[in-house]
């Protein structure tokens, strides 16, 4: 969720990123701070069936951070992942450009990589955004494009399907 508390100092600056001008890597302090926000969010996950709580923190290009958690349902197919929850919250607030997303699963020593559906949704809004994961040796940073080669994008749609 978008927090009213002041964000970490490294997450409050304006980034000015565009799809054409994204840095290849996220600065380490920002990556760690974003991952910490994902860990904090994880505490609110609703995962009574899998017992696999996940938190995500999505850094918008304007510096705001939107968090999300996985929300499960007894009808498993109706569950939603933390990454998509964060994206949908941001989009519902009018935000469309993102610099990075961090994901924290239940074990901070093991990478919790987004599922295929989350990778596709993240790709829609930022194929080159940084993807930050906790790892046994600290923090790992990828791009969404690295984890979803051959992604389905608007170039594959007929002209009438092009977003406006």
What is the per-residue pLDDT for 71?
98
Q: Mark the ranges of the chain whose per-residue pLDDT is less than 70.
A: 1-25, 160-164
Q: What is the pLDDT of residue 7?
A: 38
Domain residue limits at 42: 9-161
Q: How many CA atoms lie within 13 A of 78 on its CB side?
A: 3
In a domain, 3, yes or no: no
Domain count, the chain: 1
- Two structure tokens written together for 8: 């970490």
83 noted as active-site residue: yes
Residue 97 resides in a domain = yes
β partners of residue 143: 130
DSSP letter string, 46-99:
B-TTT----EEEEEETTS-EEEEE-B--SSGGG-B-HHHHHHHHHHHTT---EE
Give domain status of residue 157, yes or no.
Answer: yes
Asked, for residue 148, whether it belongs to a domain, the answer is yes
Q: Does some domain include residue 88? A: yes
Is 115 inside a domain boundary?
yes
Query: Would 2 be classed as within a structural domain?
Result: no
CATH for 140: 3.40.140.10
Q: Looking at residue 164, what is its pLDDT?
A: 56
Out of 36, 40, 72, 83, the active site residue is 83
In this structure, is residue 4 part of a structural domain? Answer: no
Q: Look at residue 40 in the predicted model and tell me its pLDDT.
A: 98
Half-sphere exposure for 160 (CA within 13 Å, toward CB): 0
């Amino acid at each position: 969720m978008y927090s009213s508390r002041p964000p970490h100092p490294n997450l409050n600056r304006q980034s000015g990123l565009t799809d054409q001008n994204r840095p290849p890597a996220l600065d380490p302090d920002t990556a760690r701070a974003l991952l910490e926000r994902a860990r904090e969010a994880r505490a609110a996950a609703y995962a009574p069936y899998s017992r696999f709580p996940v938190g995500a923190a999505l850094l918008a290009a304007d510096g705001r951070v939107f968090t999300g958690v996985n929300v499960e349902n007894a009808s498993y197919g109706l569950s939603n992942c933390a990454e998509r929850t964060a994206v949908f919250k941001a989009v519902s607030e009018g935000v469309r450009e993102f610099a990075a997303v961090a994901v924290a699963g239940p074990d901070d020593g093991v990478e919790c990589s987004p599922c295929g559906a989350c990778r596709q949704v993240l790709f829609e809004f930022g194929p080159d955004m940084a993807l930050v994961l906790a790892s046994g040796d600290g923090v790992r940073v990828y791009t969404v494009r690295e984890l979803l080669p051959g992604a389905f994008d608007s170039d594959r749609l007929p002209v009438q399907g092009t977003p406006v």
